[in-house]
Structure 1
Amino acid sequence: MSHYHEPVMLKEVLAFVPAFTEPKESLLFLDLTFGGGGHSRAILQNMPERAALWAFDQDSDAAMQAKQITDPRFRFFQANFRFFGQFLEAQAQEGADFILADLGVSSHQFDTPERGFSFRFPQEPLDMRMNRQAPLSAADILNNYSAEELQRVLSWYGEVKNARTLAKSILAARSVRPLRTVADLNAVIEKHAPRHKAQQYFAKVYQAIRIEVNDEMGALREMLKQAAKYLRPGGRIVVISYHSLEDRLVKHFFATGSFRGQEPPRDLYGNLLTPLQPVTRKALGPSEEEIRRNPRARSAKLRVAERIT
């Protein structure tokens, strides 16, 4: 547990767990991003005795952490959260009463050099897979995507302003020799990074590639659709995001039940069919005290929605 970060906005997460003044026979809570288990452990301590907690994570390191929890109310599934509905169906579970998703890369993943998530470890491989069994790595993308595909990734997922120029430089570099290590990619990036904002620029590029490697936005969309389907009436979903792409998507889905570019569902009379209702008017952020204690929590935004139908 010591190698994992302090669970982000833990007090706020627990505050939004539904009260359940008259507990049902089989309450089910879901932690869709187990990581080091900090949120799960706290939920187990605070949830009703009759409740069960199921946790999901695709990372084998998280699976090892989960083995340390011996509470009989706890179950762990090594899987991407985009598939959680399939597990509910397979276990004949009709729905869930509380869902938590703490998005993005964990501090453990970020600080483990050989995972390749950070530009701080130049000799490490360009990996960035949250699931180490997944077929696509960062090196695969950087060495095989076209200039147009790389520009799309950098522009959409990193909001990199000179994405086209950087994409062309990546192609030029790999024509000499394949990009295999963090140092190889850093050598290309540093030619284009603004002098006074180099670290932010590097972070945006690495974020963009990581999101593409793990199809994070696609997984988030699928998870949200399943949450709207499987949350029981009165149940809540809490999502913690760390960049504007995620937060905008979550905000729009909570408000409309759809994603941008899609026609929101309506009834026969044209009224919006929104199964979820936002509980907070705005996204919540961490306290100043938490930011001092855990600087990586600074960019966290927490949104909550409740199933109303």
Structure 2
Amino acid sequence: MSEAPHISVLLDEVLGALDAKPGETILDGTFGAGGYSRAILESGANVVGFDRDPTVLRFAEPLAAQNNRFRLIQDRFSQMGEHFEPGSVDGVVLDIGVSSMQLDEAERGFSFMRDGPLDMRMAADGPTAADLVNELEKEELARIFYVYGEERESRRVASFIIRRREEKPFTRTLDLAEVVERALGGRRGAKAHPATKTFQALRIAVNEELSELENGLEAAEKILKPGGRLAVVTFHSLEDRIVKNFFTERAGRTPGGSRHAPPTQRGPEPTFELIGKATAPGEAELAVNPRARSAKLRAGLRTTAPTWAEGRGA
């Protein structure tokens, strides 16, 4: 029995930014349920999907059987450079963060809206969210909640977790969500559940999402051909800040300093030209897919300049 396809966020805008053509090679760095890959294949391009989540095989295998221009590599997208030569790819798309497919599966432990094991791993290895909340020191837990979740009451949340785990370790999502809710004094009329930021922080920490994104952007810079395109969809401010800063720097748009100060040393040649401005979903898309409300697309066109790592080493 086939599953209903999940809705790909900003699909038309992503396709416009990639501008894929027959015979080109496009990497879908976050394959998920394959929405972007299917749409890109319709352009006649060859598509290589990347995903570290083994459960995506149920979407990838039928697609590969239907279309010989598609294949999946089971790896992190930050490792694209291990599979492709520099300057060999025409386009890369990255859809950052947890997928609706992962959120909807209680057994993955990503959501506080469904009871499930406190896991949150996108791959099948490494420490779980339960390992973090049961084993980390208070200061480290508070740091994770503050930095990755932007939770202002991070120390209070960490204190409640430490106190509770001394009685009984955490194993379930709803158990943790209830403790966080008690720490923060309940919903208090807030639109979002009190545990939203804590769960986001744990998910980012478990999957090393921010360093994965930074390394993935640098990998894309390396493997894209001159004229190749990079499109990145983010879902919260931490991710978008990384992507915005990357494109701003690589496009040579960093501030030049004060006119009263000595001129700053010129950096490497720009490796990207910006493609338009940051794009958010329109009202029509939000009406169909409310989960897209925080999404933002940024895109760039690869220049002929060497990667910044090469430029600095020269």
Partner of 1:241: 234
Contact 1:158/1:205 (8 A) holds in 2: yes
- 1:232 aligned counterpart, secondary structure: strand
Please give the alpha-carbon distance, in whole angstroms, between the structure 2 residues aligned to 1:14 and 1:94.
Answer: 21
Equivalent of residue 283 in structure 2, options 257, 278, 288: 288
Equivalent of residue 34 in structure 1, options 31, 39, 52: 31
Equivalent of residue 172 in structure 1, options 127, 147, 163: 163
- 1:66 aligned counterpart, secondary structure: helix
Contact 2:138/2:159 (8 A) holds in 1: yes
Matched, 1:129 2:125: no
Please give the alpha-carbon distance, in whole angstroms, between the structure 2 residues aligned to 1:198 and 1:52.
Answer: 42
Equivalent of residue 292 in structure 2, options 290, 293, 297: 297
Partner of 2:142: 151
Structure 1 vs Structure 2 CA RMSD: 1.9
Equivalent of residue 80 in structure 1, options 61, 69, 76: 76
Contact 1:255/1:277 (8 A) holds in 2: no
Counterpart residue identity of residue 25, structure 2: L
Please give the alpha-carbon distance, in whole angstroms, between the structure 1 residues aligned to 2:17 and 2:171.
Answer: 44
1:273/1:57 Cα in 2 relative to 1: closer, same or farther (>3 Å)? Answer: same
Please give the alpha-carbon distance, in whole angstroms, between the structure 1 residues aligned to 2:73 and 2:158.
Answer: 38
Deviation at 1:276, TM superposition (A): 1.6
Partner of 2:301: 306
The unaligned stretches of length 5 or more in structure 2 are 252-263, 305-314
- 1:274 aligned counterpart, secondary structure: coil
Partner of 1:250: 243
- 1:13 aligned counterpart, secondary structure: helix
Count of paired positions: 287
List per-residue Cα deviations over 1:219-257 (Å, max 9, x = no partner): 001100111111111111000000000001000001113
Deviation at 1:94, TM superposition (A): 4.5
Please give the alpha-carbon distance, in whole angstroms, between the structure 2 residues aligned to 1:187 and 1:307.
Answer: 47
Counterpart residue identity of residue 15, structure 2: L
Counterpart residue identity of residue 291, structure 1: L
Greater Cα offset, 272-281 or 29-38? 272-281
Please give the alpha-carbon distance, in whole angstroms, between the structure 2 residues aligned to 1:161 and 1:117.
Answer: 21
Equivalent of residue 203 in structure 2, options 177, 202, 210: 210
Please give the alpha-carbon distance, in whole angstroms, between the structure 2 residues aligned to 1:79 and 1:44.
Answer: 21
Partner of 1:188: 179
Please give the alpha-carbon distance, in whole angstroms, between the structure 2 residues aligned to 1:157 and 1:177.
Answer: 25
**TM-score (ref. length: structure 1):** 0.88
Partner of 1:263: none
List per-residue Cα deviations over 1:191-222 (Å, max 9, x = no partner): 13351227343211111100000000010011
Partner of 1:6: 7
Please give the alpha-carbon distance, in whole angstroms, between the structure 1 residues aligned to 2:5 and 2:154.
Answer: 33
Please give the alpha-carbon distance, in whole angstroms, between the structure 2 residues aligned to 1:29 and 1:151.
Answer: 40
Greater Cα offset, 271-280 or 154-163? 271-280
Contact 1:56/1:78 (8 A) holds in 2: yes
Counterpart residue identity of residue 137, structure 1: T
Contact 1:276/1:307 (8 A) holds in 2: yes
Matched, 1:110 2:103: yes
Runs of 4+ in 1 over 4 A off after TM superposition: none
Partner of 1:279: 275
Greater Cα offset, 214-223 or 182-191? 182-191
List per-residue Cα deviations over 1:245-280 (Å, max 9, x = no partner): 00010000011139xxxxxxxxx9624433122212
Please give the alpha-carbon distance, in whole angstroms, between the structure 1 residues aligned to 2:207 and 2:135.
Answer: 16
Contact 1:4/1:36 (8 A) holds in 2: yes
Please give the alpha-carbon distance, in whole angstroms, between the structure 1 residues aligned to 2:232 and 2:34.
Answer: 16
- 2:195 aligned counterpart, secondary structure: helix
1:3/1:218 Cα in 2 relative to 1: closer, same or farther (>3 Å)? Answer: farther
**TM-score (ref. length: structure 2):** 0.86
What percent identity do the matched residue pairs reach? Answer: 41
List per-residue Cα deviations over 1:84-112 (Å, max 9, x = no partner): 110114xxx74211100011111110000
Please give the alpha-carbon distance, in whole angstroms, between the structure 1 residues aligned to 2:182 and 2:248.
Answer: 42
Deviation at 1:4, TM superposition (A): 4.5
Contact 1:99/1:236 (8 A) holds in 2: yes
Equivalent of residue 223 in structure 2, options 191, 216, 230: 230
Deviation at 1:3, TM superposition (A): 4.6
Please give the alpha-carbon distance, in whole angstroms, between the structure 2 residues aligned to 1:86 and 1:5.
Answer: 29
- 1:298 aligned counterpart, secondary structure: helix
